[in-house]
Structure 1
């Protein structure tokens, strides 16, 4: 619904989530089923990690507390983005109110920024554990991890508020169709008019680059330092053991950053995607890590894996 004002500026009351423009209606049910299964995987996997670490006192250590914060972020992101697009394809409900769309946009960008800073905390944890192991019990405690993770949740908040208020202040005079599976800044501000739209998009891009590239720079430096330390070790068994402790973190970090970097670089060199492929890529790099991360925690982290196997054996004996 669009209300036309006397100044030729329209006030949008609702947006329509378009999803995949090229998707035939005959594929709406399979698409909704796939998205529902992805959401189910995100829910089950991340809730399991949260409950398992909270329940297992032996796992309440800095590294696994960071995993809990990552799981909470993934769970929140899936819950913010997927139900609306599932209802669009399942029930034909494409309408999202103006302020609901802005709320979704806020959480999409906020949770992505929180994830980026949490990955920085995770890299810091591994850097200190491997590069200065004797100082690790002093420098990295549960309380310090809580403070660092709390900072990761707080730091993006004022930056996201700037983005939201700037977008809300824009006059909207284009269509009210969101060519995406959820409301994001580009999709919404593309419906705005006037020169202020470009300013808002540039400011948002700068904030996004800060939230992504500053943590990424530290992460790269820390993991390069860790790899150098591992390569200098003379004991091959020790090398393998320490490398195994870093593998989950490296996988999780690559899943988050590599697809984003690929899309940004492709756009930079002028390689264009079709709208449907672009939306699919955004969905993949947004939601695939949230669904896959719990599997990485369980099967690539030795302590979680051994604790889980022990619990399963005890349960079988109990039966």
Structure 2
């Protein structure tokens, strides 16, 4: 079929979880709303801690700040629409809005991957080249690298969406997903999508496997460096500084790699199982990451406790003053 002006689709319909029965719509929408609420509160709390505590103005926390902003924006891009799908039975999304959401989903995913690369780079320098850390990774350096990550992701994902937008969409408009993504949308085109899938493949290689390759290299180097340390206490201290980042990186990459590998070796899942896994690795980390920061980082725990202490003590003082009257 030629690719003339054949697009008759004016809107798409997001199915969400295809096999979900109507009686569970309220429950699912409530769960998703709670997930979004926790995500917003947790990430906003990290932003507040960073804004009110000068002790967090360090390279590692600037990297966490970028990840926090990215997680918050990604969840805001995806969750409100799927919540309305089940809360108000409104799964319709306009043609243009779908492509805007597609772009933002892949854009924030790419930025997230680049920020995880910076996190691994931070630990690599701190453990493998500790004497050069303060000279190489300054706040200004992190700022430049962070801006680069956000800008590079624009170019990496623009080509993918620009090539997908003009395709002729003249058949089904039902997207078997909770949000618009490249595969879910372009599979509905009335043409062979193979040539257009190549740009998406290249984008995935650059934004996912590129940072992942360095992350693997950096942590292998860290393990080698730590193995040469004779003092057991120093080994434990060095590894503990990596634990937080390893948990965050694992939550982001392991489920993705599992889905990609499973599809390549012929392991098939039902549509519902596949979407549940995708939603887990898409929406789980933005909600869990801030909790991990605060539990694993001593400085962030102390800042959080100070904020809590400031809120509690004035109330106690106010009660004591009333009781002494």
TM exceeds 0.5? yes
Q: Does 1:131 align with 2:166?
A: no
Post-superposition offset of 1:149 = 0.8
Asked if the contact 2:7/2:167 (under 8 Å) is kept, the reply is no
RMSD: 1.3
Asked if the contact 2:177/2:184 (under 8 Å) is kept, the reply is yes
Output the CA distance in 2 between the equivalents of 1:181 and 1:282: 9
SS state of the match for residue 40, structure 1?
helix
The answer for the alignment partner of 1:151 in structure 2 is 148
Asked if the contact 2:16/2:178 (under 8 Å) is kept, the reply is yes
SS state of the match for residue 180, structure 2?
coil
Post-superposition offset of 1:311 = 3.6
The answer for the alignment partner of 2:116 in structure 1 is 119
Q: Does 1:28 align with 2:64?
A: no
Post-superposition offset of 1:189 = 0.3
Output the CA distance in 2 between the equivalents of 1:284 and 1:239: 33
The answer for the alignment partner of 2:312 in structure 1 is 316
TM-score normalised to structure 2 length: 0.93
Output the CA distance in 1 between the equivalents of 2:208 and 2:168: 29
Q: Does 1:232 align with 2:224?
A: no
Output the CA distance in 2 between the equivalents of 1:251 and 1:8: 48
**How many residues in Structure 1 have an aligned counterpart in Structure 2?**
312
Output the CA distance in 2 between the equivalents of 1:57 and 1:47: 17
The answer for the alignment partner of 1:164 in structure 2 is 161
Output the CA distance in 1 between the equivalents of 2:244 and 2:8: 48
Cα deviation digits, residues 111-149 of structure 1 (max 9, x gap): 000000110111111111111111111101111001011
Query: Which consecutive residues of structure 2, in runs of 5 or more, have no partner in the other structure?
Result: 316-325
The answer for the alignment partner of 2:268 in structure 1 is 272
2:242 to 239, 246, 250: 246
Output the CA distance in 2 between the equivalents of 1:121 and 1:10: 41
Cα deviation digits, residues 197-221 of structure 1 (max 9, x gap): 2111122122112210010000110
Cα deviation digits, residues 51-82 of structure 1 (max 9, x gap): 11121100110000100100000000000000
Post-superposition offset of 1:293 = 0.1
Stretches of 4+ moved more than 4 A in 1? none
Cα deviation digits, residues 148-182 of structure 1 (max 9, x gap): 11111111211211011100121112201111000
Q: Does 1:9 align with 2:6?
A: yes
Moved more, 242-251 or 73-82: 242-251
SS state of the match for residue 16, structure 1?
strand
Output the CA distance in 2 between the equivalents of 1:70 and 1:216: 16
Moved more, 84-93 or 304-313: 304-313
Q: Does 1:262 align with 2:280?
A: no
